Structure 1
Amino acid sequence: MSTENPINPTVPPSGTGCVDCDAVDGWWFHLRRCARCGHIGCCDDSPSKHATAHAEATGHPVIRSFEPGESWFWNYDTSELYESGPQLALPESHPLDQPVPGPAGRVPADWSEQLRTAD
């Protein structure tokens, strides 16, 4: 495990959607924000699980929900959930008008079935 502080509250989020899904015209269910570098990735219920992949690739173990109204943090190294934590650079979530799942126009009509059969 890195001795570097896993949370950098000054770094803004990398965008309003999953960076990796956006690169390949993919879609996501919910979004997570790396508390160290601001990378926005999709959750483990999403088809591609980019937030977890980012944590594994970078060694950045702490994420925060990037969903409106959610302020919890998760630490991959310790498998601990924290109901709250330090204030991170704004914005705290994706735009309120961004649909879940998202983004608009890329979510397949059978998205809920795809999520059920992904595991």
Structure 2
Amino acid sequence: MLKEDKLYQLWFFRSESEKNPLYIMNYDLKFSENFEIKRYLIGRKLQIKDKDIFFILITNYKVKNVYAPNKQILYFSKKEYSKKLEKDARKYMENSVYANLIETKFIENETNYKIKKFIEFLRIKN
């Protein structure tokens, strides 16, 4: 079920099998001579051992055929981070087609405003 949240200007997808919805947000635009191409942030909040972990996927500029994500990032809080927690999160994400391409970052070190805003939204909404 895909719904739009006009207040936050994003969409969210809730699957019956997943308890946390998947949120989709406009990330940026690339203008060419004839048209504009959008990229999106797709993310969800994961709960592993009572710790909040945020999984964010950044799509490519190709809108019609997205073969692979541009980036997949697991965001941890510096206070809660441990190698064991990262290992458990990666194990949880093992079913992802591109699981070997997942990066690990700290929320506190993120400099991109849109990604920080998206993580804050995920933290509050879930």
TM over 0.5: no
The structure with the largest strand share of the pair is 2
The structure with the largest helix share of the pair is 2
Bigger RCO (CA 8 Å, 6+ sep): 1
